[in-house]
Structure 1
Amino acid sequence: MTRLNLADDGDWLTPKETAERLAELTARGDVAPDYYGVGGPVTELEHAVAAMFSKEAAVMYPTGTLANMLAARELAAAKRGPRLVVQSDSHVFNDAGDNFTHGIGVTTVPLASEGPSFTAEQLRAEIKRTASARVPATIVGVMVETPSRRYANRLFDPVALAEVISLAKAENIPLILDGARIFIEAAWTDRELTEIAAPFDYIYLSLYKYLDAPFGAVLAGSAAALEGQHHERRRFGGGLFQMWPSALLAHNALARQTKNWAAVRVAGAAVLDALPGLGVEAHRLVDDTNVIRIKSAVESEEVAKRTQARNAKMPPRSRGGYVLKMNESWLNTPPDGIAATIADILRD
């Protein structure tokens, strides 16, 4: 790991560190492998995630792309002209190659906005438009991504989200939460995971953002919603012979998330308070989570040299500055040391 990661949600394990962590976790010799994703650490992880979100069941997939797609496929079963409402800047609409359209015959309907949110009014208009289609169509679900990656982990506006959820419930439209960063949301909103997950029929959790795993995702929901998903996972090419290494690493990391992200938030606030005194102009938006936004004229090439000399990692320059991300590596250095490192890297 880098000493101080200023660029990512997690400080990812190197291959050597991954091997060492697995060696520690398997040292007693009592870890049994799964068989095509059933049994061993995979089943243990699924049970842990389901309990964590107060859902009846959970299923592990090799990728979040597959998890979200099969959730939508389940909602679309036997529906005419299935459509899924999503954010226009969401991961599922921009980064999956229109897999819903090509893979499962579901049309994604993007709702645009000035930020990571859309409104109940927009959703209501889409419900009305779909109902009036000349060729029968059905909104089979609404997917919400929060925090939003394309908006540097900004939250879906909580008032707007409550109104969207209320409307979807009134119209009997299922809800999917793209909660890849749900632990971050919980820390910065002072909410329990179960409270965040409660309104949603499906919740997707990424295993590699900050859970030490090299790949994987878990989808949680009701037992009825996830019935048969182990078979559907294999049908769509996601039935890996063994997924236990990723499941074991992620399960081990689950226990520390709530406590550590709360500590990261405290450390980040202290860093933010210290930066002005070091000549660094920093700010946050009202719906930000684990980020600090810094204006800087220093070019990326110079920043890269300074960062490497300090065994740190910086994000690329964007829109006249840098968006720094807090993560667990911030717990290894006192806040004043982190602030001093940032100021040194970004000095004019």
Structure 2
Amino acid sequence: MSKDTQFLVSLADDGDIPAPKEMAARLQRLTQETAIEADYYGNGGAVTELEAEAARLLGKERAVMFPTGTLANLIALRLLAGPDGARVVVHRHSHLFNDSGDNLSLLGGFTMVPLEGEGAGFSADDVAAELDRTADARVASRVGCIAMESPNRRLLGQRFAQADIKAITGLAGNRGIPLFLDGARMLIECAYSGQRPADMAAPFDIVYLSLYKYLGAPFGCVLAGSAAMLDGVFHDRRRFGGSLYQMWPAALLAKDALAGYAERWHRTRSAAEAVLALVEDQGPVTVEHIPDGTNIVRLRLPGAVLDGDKVKAAGLSQALKLPPPSADCLPVKINETWLNVEPQDLAGRLLKALGRCA
């Protein structure tokens, strides 16, 4: 942990966010350990190596790195739904619908159709009803893609139910509609569900995976799918302004973090379970697990009215980064920084911080 970092453990992020000195040190170590070749506008070198590893991990023929998820999602929908402004089925609380400034509509011409079912998903019946409604419209239109996000950030890491994915996959196959997975945090889901990433990705024509949310890269993501669909997509990457001259630092850091991620997350989950058990046993705190959840739990302090500034200060007093509160609870995120402190020590720090919050 960098000396510039004010906290030992983050309970507010999906992973470690290294300070510049720490990131530079990681790059120095990796470039000294083996010969690294730079990419040229995203082609070749460490970027190509990362793409090959991501494709293998996700069980797809090809993967392509992009500097931002906003651009990658737009390109993915253009590939899947076409460039002529089709409708795209999304979840009401999805990243695509809420957090990209309607770029799919403004830049891609797509009409997003938000559905909301139980939890983080929607059902095949919900989709079928929308397909039928579109087909019966007085003015011809079409649904060009069904997009699913799992786990869902806005719903505290809830997963899209596998039974619904299976049913929607069958429906989409019969109707000839491609499927897109916004799997920005899918490796976290795999750590909790026990699925292999390739199995989780299998039903989808294109899968999106973030490189910076928990893989230590300063930016970036990949799209993975068939070679026929993605082999020439670097032209669109450049056409839409997404070809950085060199992306190798992010690719190198992400590829390094991918190695052993499953084992690290196994240890992370075990450590977090020990910490949460101690916190609930020793303090006036209730630990609430999210139904069908992943790495987010609620720490509830009954009767307390939590103030954001007070929570932040209390956390820093114990070298912890605490999330903004919601009424009487903190929606804390489990991540690899929980391994920086022994469970007993971390539980003690957290209880002291919570005591100052109440």
TM surpasses 0.5: yes
* Backbone CA RMSD of aligned residues: 1.5
Establish whether residue 326 from structure 1 lines up as the match of residue 328 from structure 2: no
1:6-31 CA-to-partner distances (Å, cap 9, x unmatched) read: 11110111111111111111125721
| Match in the other structure for 2:124 | 120
Deviation at 1:334, TM superposition (A): 1.9
| Match in the other structure for 1:167 | 171
**Structure 2 residue aligned with 1:90, among 90, 94, 99?**
94
| Match in the other structure for 1:34 | 39
Deviation at 1:276, TM superposition (A): 2.1
| Match in the other structure for 1:204 | 208
Distance 1:28 1:209 in 2: 25
The count of corresponding residues between Structure 1 and Structure 2 is: 347
Establish whether residue 301 from structure 1 lines up as the match of residue 309 from structure 2: yes
User: Which amino acid in structure 1 is aligned with residue 212 of structure 2?
Assistant: Y
| Match in the other structure for 2:51 | 46
Task: State the secondary structure of the residue aligned to 1:144.
Answer: strand
Q: Relative to structure 1, is the Cα distance of residues 11 and 231 closer, same or farther in structure 2, using a 3 angstrom cutoff? A: same
| Match in the other structure for 1:136 | 140
Deviation at 1:162, TM superposition (A): 2.4
* Structure 1: gaps of 5 or more residues: none
- Comparing 95-104 with 214-223, which one deviates more in the overlay? 95-104
After superposition, where does 1:1-348 map in structure 2 within 5 Å? 1=5, 2-27=7-32, 30-77=35-82, 81-113=85-117, 115-279=119-283, 280-296=285-301, 297=304, 298-347=306-355, 348=358
Distance 1:315 1:342 in 2: 12
Deviation at 1:114, TM superposition (A): 5.3
Distance 1:78 1:12 in 2: 36
User: Which amino acid in structure 2 is aligned with residue 165 of structure 1?
Assistant: T
Task: State the secondary structure of the residue aligned to 2:154.
Answer: helix
- Comparing 264-273 with 88-97, which one deviates more in the overlay? 264-273
Structure 1 consecutive aligned stretches of length 4 or more whose deviation exceeds 3 Å:
none
Asked if the contact 1:142/1:174 (under 8 Å) is kept, the reply is: yes
Task: State the secondary structure of the residue aligned to 2:332.
Answer: strand
Deviation at 1:183, TM superposition (A): 1.0
Asked if the contact 2:311/2:324 (under 8 Å) is kept, the reply is: no
Task: State the secondary structure of the residue aligned to 2:351.
Answer: helix
Task: State the secondary structure of the residue aligned to 2:345.
Answer: helix
The percent of aligned pairs where both chains have the same amino acid is: 46
1:295-346 CA-to-partner distances (Å, cap 9, x unmatched) read: 1224333222221122110000014210111100111222222222221111
User: Which amino acid in structure 1 is aligned with residue 332 of structure 2?
Assistant: L
Asked if the contact 1:282/1:292 (under 8 Å) is kept, the reply is: yes
Asked if the contact 1:76/1:140 (under 8 Å) is kept, the reply is: yes
Task: State the secondary structure of the residue aligned to 1:224.
Answer: helix
- Comparing 336-345 with 183-192, which one deviates more in the overlay? 336-345
Distance 1:159 1:338 in 2: 37
- Comparing 195-204 with 303-312, which one deviates more in the overlay? 303-312
Asked if the contact 1:64/1:217 (under 8 Å) is kept, the reply is: yes
User: Which amino acid in structure 1 is aligned with residue 178 of structure 2?
Assistant: P
* Structure 2: gaps of 5 or more residues: none
Deviation at 1:167, TM superposition (A): 1.7
User: Which amino acid in structure 1 is aligned with residue 350 of structure 2?
Assistant: I
